[in-house]
Structure 1
Amino acid sequence: MISEIKNEIKEATFVAILLDETCDVTNFSQLSKVLRYVYKGEVYERFVGFHDVSGDRSAEALAKLAIDTLEVFQCKDKLVVQTYDGAAVMAGHLNGVQAKVREVIPHAVFVHCYAHKLNLVLSQAVSCISACRVFFANLSGFVSFLVHSSKRTNLLDTIVQKRFPKLAPTRWSYSSRLVQTVADHKVELEELYEHILENPEDWNTTAINEARGFLMMLRDFQFNFLLCVFGELFSLTDVTFNIVQSKYLDITFCSKEVEALKDKLNTKRNCGFDKIWLKTETVSDCEPARKKRKGNCSEATVKDDFRRMYLEILDTVIMQLNIRFQSLHDLKFIEMFDSKKISTFSDVFPEEAFQKLRTLYGKFFDIVRLKSELSAMFTSKQV
């Protein structure tokens, strides 16, 4: 099979490499290797093996493995695309695998799912801020407590009459639905936990203690504050998330939507805190906890602490949007192959998109001939 794949790749003009790493059942880290290419007018994706990378998962080691794989299949000079997940070791723009591969093969453009990039933007906002990590861990605790027991699930159906979304912590669409569910049914959830505490004879000690903890959490000021913050944040990011999933060929449109999202977040950053604070005071049953400080800790100081947390969350999201979407405009040439836009190119040739293609892949084409053929294709009535 490997020999047959090598023969097909010999005839291919362009090749892409796809790498993904995961742990197997023995807890060894395995890297799957896939090559994608066009052969006789058909696109093929060929799995070419697993590689145990448990001993060294550094960017240097993985980049060497990628280049060694290309050399085995004699297609290093044909590589035009590399695609991996968004982990920093793979996608890092300075020291990630993709950057190290491009040091050797400059035209090997890195492409990553832009909807997944938005997931990573939100994930980064959480991982950098301890209060946010605790908040989402507690949210997941709600789900675990209620779904891992048929008796508790029945109580959930009876009192709340709404199931939590299925656990999928790495998907931020899941986190969005979870935040929305808890926010919309906060009163019913409090009633559920109060029911458990008021009927201790029906529940074991573990359930009673956990119910008491979750009830205190639902009434905690900081928990409610973050529930409001992420509720508003997700209401903005969910829209952009859906757009970049459905409009992935329209790079200009996706770029505008990402910029629009950043503008909205900057507006929230500049004048959104007071609204969040007032909303939290309305829905929370207690005052914000005052951190231990030397001297007097006034209400104004406590509010300033929450303001700093709010700004840190939004600044992190905006910064990650800038970093992770900075190369989006370089892929503008993809628009030339969007069937929904081709008819518009018969009147005005997409010069900007064509120049992006020329910058990235000019060495592979006779540029004058390519432009002539594209012009003929765009004006053809059969397109």
Structure 2
Amino acid sequence: MFKNLKYTSSDIQKDLVRACAIETIGAITKDIEGTFFFLLVDRSCDSSTKEKMAVVLRYVNKERKVIKRFLGVQHVSSTTSSLLEETIERLFASTNLSMSKLREQGYDGASNMKGEQNGLKANILNKYPQAFYVHCFAHQLQLALVAVAKGIEGVAIFFNNASILVNIIGSSCKRRDAFREKQLEQIKKALDIGDLETGRGLNQEISLMHPCDTRWNSHYGIIVSIIVMFEAVVVVLEWIKDDTNQDNFGEVSKLFHDIQTFDFVFHLFFMRFILEITNELSQTLQKKDQDIVNAMALVEVCKQRLQSLRDDDFGDLLDDVQKFCQEHDIVVPNMEDLRFVPGKSRRKALRLINFHYYHMDLYFQVLDTQLKELNDSFNEVNTELLLCMACLSPVNNFAYFDKAKSVRLAQLYSQDFDCMDLMNLPIQLDNYIHDMKMHSEFSSLR
């Protein structure tokens, strides 16, 4: 009898999946048991192009371990903030989870999610004021860099050309081998004339790795590689262009011409400056064991460096670009000559001198956009909240402990600390830190 039970019916399989989901969610809610939690939400389309919303909870369990649990996927007919909020509350009601225990929210950078007036973040904050919104800082930096690349035409064209360049040279073993040979010839030539030093670990082979769009600062590596190996890149592109058997002659010819222009070199060095400044911050924000105080300090350093770059360094950038162009026989335009900037029609095309275009319309515009995005992403509320939390870290014998910031953290969660609690807290914190530092077992905590 039981040999015929195959459980292949779609209805039976859905019932089994539903039963497993109910048991799993029950185990998660039992593990939480009334503790505070962090809500993570993201949306996506499935293979049938239906909108789905994934819900994840993060909390500290009874063993004091940070746990992240996938709660489920909910179908949504649209992605308006009000509908997303209703779907979340309906899901919580079905799992016996209380929204009053929600203490933080984490979503992507879309306007319907993080909007200050009508976003999902704002809607939940209006009902639950302690549910602060904290966006992944590494993702915020990513979005800030992408905003520049996607929002400014010249920068978008530059990164597109850089990506095509990597694809063309790396599309076959034959081309990669030719590139290595030219690179080796370039290194030997530089060694012969004394432009390079010899030694262990020096003059290693550099490859043109494809940048990762989900880690925008990975473009920094490709930009540096193009600058260092520019001569080899040009030679290999010319060899590919002259190959009668290749089938993308038009694309290669255009790229061969484009990378040997002042415009390309200007963007190359300009983007290197920006990504060089943000690279250390990007690496720090991606660390699993993140030093929040150091990360916040790097955010401010990054903003100040970009502001300094905007105010003082255009002349140095222009000198570097012109020097590079002269070394590689690239025509340098006269900065006082007129440049036609295309408009909606040729009649409406703007007539600007080259200096004005590169300085005002490109240099200032990119840096102003970058600074605005960084200031919007790393705002004062998020920064204060995280710096206050960091003061509770036991690292280096509680080196970051700060009583005033701990009190401020309690004030931010006013529903969890009444007036009497706030009055007693300073004395309790003095006793706490004195007690902790008396015990040697806490001195080596990580």
Check conservation: 1:249, 1:334, Cα contact below 8 A.
no
One of 261, 270, 286 as aligned partner of 2:311: 270
| Residue equivalent to 1:305 | 357
Check conservation: 1:143, 1:164, Cα contact below 8 A.
yes
One of 36, 40, 59 as aligned partner of 1:18: 40
Higher RCO by CA contacts (8 Å cutoff, separation 6 or greater): 1
Hey, what's the Cα distance between the residues in 2 that align with 1:157 and 1:291? 39
Specify every segment of 5 or more residues in structure 2 that has no aligned partner in the other structure, as ranges. 1-22, 184-204
Hey, what's the Cα distance between the residues in 1 that align with 2:239 and 2:391? 60
The answer to whether 1:147 aligns with 2:175 is no
Hey, what's the Cα distance between the residues in 2 that align with 1:253 and 1:45? 25
Aligned residues: 374
* Shift in Å, 1:336: 2.7
Query: 1:169-248 residue pairs with structure 2 within 5 A?
Result: 169-198=213-242, 200-201=243-244, 203-206=245-248, 208-246=249-287
| Residue equivalent to 2:54 | 32
Identity %: 25
Query: 1:248-263 residue pairs with structure 2 within 5 A?
Result: 250-263=291-304
Hey, what's the Cα distance between the residues in 2 that align with 1:152 and 1:344? 54
Aligned partner of residue 59 in structure 2, secondary structure? strand
The 3 A distance-change label for structure 1 pair 249 and 153 is: closer
Check conservation: 1:251, 1:329, Cα contact below 8 A.
no
The answer to whether 1:5 aligns with 2:31 is no
Specify every segment of 5 or more residues in structure 1 that has no aligned partner in the other structure, as ranges. none
CA deviations on 1:238-296 (whole Å, 9 max, x unpaired) are: 12223344597654443332222222211111121122222222333134593168799
One of 110, 113, 135 as aligned partner of 1:112: 135
The 3 A distance-change label for structure 1 pair 256 and 58 is: same
* Shift in Å, 1:225: 0.8
One of 35, 57, 75 as aligned partner of 1:52: 75
Aligned partner of residue 57 in structure 1, secondary structure? coil
- Considering only CA atoms, is the larger Rg found in Structure 1 or Structure 2? 2
One of 403, 412, 417 as aligned partner of 1:360: 412
Hey, what's the Cα distance between the residues in 2 that align with 1:39 and 1:337? 19
TM-score, normalising length: structure 1: 0.87
Hey, what's the Cα distance between the residues in 2 that align with 1:17 and 1:295? 51
Check conservation: 1:20, 1:84, Cα contact below 8 A.
yes
The answer to whether 1:166 aligns with 2:210 is yes
Hey, what's the Cα distance between the residues in 1 that align with 2:395 and 2:311? 38
Hey, what's the Cα distance between the residues in 2 that align with 1:233 and 1:148? 29
One-letter amino acid of the structure 2 residue matched with residue 177 of structure 1 = G
> Over aligned residue pairs, what C-alpha RMSD do you find?
2.8
One-letter amino acid of the structure 2 residue matched with residue 182 of structure 1 = I
| Residue equivalent to 1:338 | 393
Aligned partner of residue 290 in structure 1, secondary structure? strand
Hey, what's the Cα distance between the residues in 2 that align with 1:313 and 1:296? 21
Which piece of structure 1 moves more, 61-70 or 168-177? 61-70
The 3 A distance-change label for structure 1 pair 372 and 69 is: farther
TM-score, normalising length: structure 2: 0.75
One-letter amino acid of the structure 2 residue matched with residue 190 of structure 1 = V
Hey, what's the Cα distance between the residues in 1 that align with 2:349 and 2:170? 44
